[in-house]
Amino acid sequence: MAEIVEKGTWVEIQRIVLAPGERAPQVPEDTKLVPLEMRAKGFLDKTAHLGEEAEIMTPAGRRLRGILIEINPAYVHSFGPPVAALSTIGVEVHSLLTEQEQAP
């Protein structure tokens, strides 16, 4: 029996948005062979079983339905390595704003 997941748990769902035959004609040939899949993370709306359909509330307040595929999923994306030139901007902006507030 599939694991029971309690309401309010942080989860990830998956849903097929478009089947391979429904993809746009301008999509590359290799892409047309696979479905367009949606994955979303959010809080489980009702107690559900892993592997079955469930509804979530995303942090942005959207309600989405799909197959419950993961419990407590992590964010694994990356925006690449830090850009050195941008690493001090926060401190510099804060300093400039403080100077403006103190100016007569």
Statement: residue 6 has pLDDT above 90: yes
Indicate the number of domains in the chain: 1
In angstroms, the first-to-last Cα distance of the chain is 71
Residue 101 lies in a domain: no
Residue 88 lies in a domain: no
Q: Check: pTM over 0.75? Answer yes or no.
A: no
Residue 55 lies in a domain: yes
Residue 36 lies in a domain: yes
Residue 23 lies in a domain: yes
CB within 8 Å of 63: residues ≥ 6 apart: 45, 55, 56, 57
Q: Report pLDDT digits (tens) over 16-73.
A: 999 999 999 999 999 999 999 999 999 999 999 999 999 999 999 999 999 999 999 9
Spatial separation of the C-alpha atoms in residues 79 and 89, rounded to whole Å: 17
